[in-house]
Amino acid sequence: MPNSTNDILADAGHRSSETEFYTPLPDGYERGKTRYVVVMGTVMSGLGKGIFSSSLAKLLKDKGLRVAPIKMEGYLNLDSGTLNPYRHGEVFVLDDGMETDMDLGTYERMLDQNLTGDNFVTSGQVYRRVLDKERHGGYLGRDVQMIPHVTGEVKYMLRQLAVKQQADVVFVEVGGTVGDFENGFYIEALRELAFEEGERSVCFVALTYVIEPQALGEQKSKAAQLGVKRMMELGVQPHMIACRATNEVNDTVREKIAMFTNVPMRRVFSMHDRDSIYTIPEDMHRQALDIEILSLLDMHSRVRPAAEDKARHQWGRFVEQLTNPHRHQIKIGITGKYATLRDAYASIDKAIEHCSAHLNADIDVQWIDTGELDASTEAIAELLAPLNGIIVPGGFGARGTEAKIACVRYARENRTPYLGICLGFQMAVVEYARHVCGMTDAASSEFDTHAARAVIDILPEQKKIEGLGGNMRLGGKDVQITANTRAVMLFGNARAVRRRFRHRYEVDPQYIDELTAHGLIFSGRHPDQPIMQILELPHDQHPYFLGAQFHPELTSRPLDPSPLFMGLTAAAIQHANPDLPPEKISPRYLPDPNHHTVDA
């Protein structure tokens, strides 16, 4: 007879039609080799589970461990590609083309690690996998149920991730809030996972909310207690609790939470509001949360102290640069149709923050909603005149596009540093065609299907592809950089880079010669196809005018900021301080004013 959980589970694989244990294991999986940290939210959603989880994962990665985060969403969509930014924030595109939740961006930035579609799961993906298996006879005639088959699929996906990414620790973030219908099967699957993997294999973290009603003037822990109690009712005992709050959670509240949740007070962490999320890892380290995790998971023997010292030193320098007072004061405007919701442009916001640290700049970001903007010349000039830099971000749909074109024109004619991203790249082409090339009827076929001169259009090859997302260019693609251009300077003389795309429309090749004849430079192109990917103006004509069909913000990292954002920020500093020599700002990102040669 089997005498342990492992024996039972191993034997169950041979008796799947007879036993209640359903635990299919991926090839190469060794039970006990990988540990799991599970982060769940209570009280309310949107508290920052991804920030907490990625910060803790960073501490373990700094110690030399291989970490693999995964976000588990409850909605039935197969990905985040069709979600409204107003409801769900930005769509973050991974290198393999998976359209995901914005939390995946937090993980990539914090861990400096490219993720894949395996790091993102939705209920729709899980159900589709289960139903596909059922149609192919994968359940040996059994009736397919939430338990054990759906929960079994969740466990399989987690273990498969561990094998594929050779993870020492898998960090699991469960979307939503404990008690939601849609994430209940995830929580049950994780409870089963802890049972199957054995002691010291799974650590549960509850992220809760400590309220501080203004009328009372004190922190209250009851909602937090009840939220964690709901988690315990589902069979999950947390090992650690993170308390979100406006102000630092006081000892009295932490004591109450510890008492009513059976969690030692040393594992009750105050995750209160901070000036930057990048300060959280060091706060966690000071409170020894990383040591607690290592003890809970019995992983002290896997730590490499030398790696940790180096990583902490590099991160500490970045945080010091970010949080110390900055010398340069500049204003950058983001003119987008979702500007009223900053989460819609979360990666742009973070890319700017990275530049502020590296270029010693205090950047005042002005959010300008082009959907409500008067596109007249006078109104645009009054709004944009105080700015030192302008960003026109990506987006879909016609709303606000004429205002974006007006913003591009202002930046070009008034020599205000400009960065166009995706749609901002396309609007720069339309603006240039109209006001420099004399094509007054130039437009994009996305917004005018009968445009006489659709300088932005779907290429013939793409028109053959059916389906809403079928003709999208998604994920990492190669960009060939032209010599002696600003782009090649920004990318450190690299002649080819890989960047992430999310778009459907391109510069129509039939107009490229006319655009370039009038001075527009396409300094980044597809290696083989007539697809334009970076545009610019010569730096003797404009201090910084550049557009990218890709999304440079998606690959900006705290220790490795986006070159295009760095170039914009450096140019904005010079715009605000015209008498300041370029070498005092950034020789790396500002061109030699005496060098005008452009070989396009």
Query: What is the residue-level pLDDT of the chain in tens, covering all 600 positions?
Result: 445 555 545 444 444 556 677 888 999 999 989 999 999 999 888 889 999 999 999 999 999 999 999 999 999 988 888 887 767 788 999 999 999 999 999 999 999 999 999 999 999 999 999 999 999 988 887 889 999 999 999 999 999 999 999 999 999 999 999 989 999 999 999 999 999 999 999 999 999 999 998 888 899 999 999 999 999 999 999 999 999 999 999 999 999 999 999 999 999 999 999 989 999 999 999 999 999 999 999 999 999 998 899 999 999 999 999 999 888 999 999 998 776 677 789 999 999 999 999 999 999 999 998 877 777 888 899 999 999 999 999 887 767 788 999 999 999 999 999 999 999 999 999 999 999 999 999 999 988 888 889 999 987 665 554 444 446 889 999 999 999 999 999 999 999 999 999 998 999 999 999 999 999 999 999 999 899 999 999 988 999 999 999 999 999 999 999 999 999 999 999 999 999 998 889 888 988 665 544 444
Sign of torsion over alpha carbons 481, 486, 490, 492: positive
Give me the sign of the Cα torsion angle 90, 95, 99, 103. negative
| Helix (H/G/I), strand (E/B), else coil: 446 | coil
Cα(365)–Cα(335) distance, integer angstroms? 10
Active site residue 553: yes
Q: What is the pLDDT of residues 396-410, one digit of tens each?
A: 776 778 899 999 999
CA distances from 171 to 31, 39, 58 (A): 16, 8, 11
Domains defined for the chain, CATH in brackets: 30-318 (3.40.50.300), 328-456+472-584 (3.40.50.880)
Q: d(Cα 265, Cα 105) in Å, to the nearest integer?
A: 31
Phi/psi at 449 (5° precision): -70, -15
Report pTM: 0.91
Kind and range of the H or E element at 479? strand 473-481
Active-site residue identified among 173, 422, 446, 503: 422
- SS3 assignment, position 359: coil
**pLDDT of amino acid 463:** 56
Structure tokens at 435: 């006001």
What ranges in 89-183 are assigned the alpha helix state H?
A: 103-111, 123-135, 151-164
Q: What are phi and psi of 415, to 5 degrees?
A: 55, 35
Catalytic hit among 431, 536, 553, 575: 553
Query: What pLDDT, on a 0 to 100 scale, did the predictor assign at position 518?
Result: 96
Residues 169 and 160: their CA atoms lie apart, in Å, by 13
pLDDT tens digits for range 219-269: 999 999 999 999 999 999 999 999 999 999 999 999 999 999 999 999 999
Q: Is 203 a known active-site residue?
A: no
Distance of CA 274 to the CA centre of its chain: 20
Is-catalytic flag, 282? no
Task: Compute the radius of gyration of the chain from its Cα atoms.
Answer: 26
* Secondary structure string (H, E, C) spanning 398-414: CCCHHHHHHHHHHHHHC
User: What CA–CA distance (Å, rounded) separates 235 from 238?
Assistant: 10
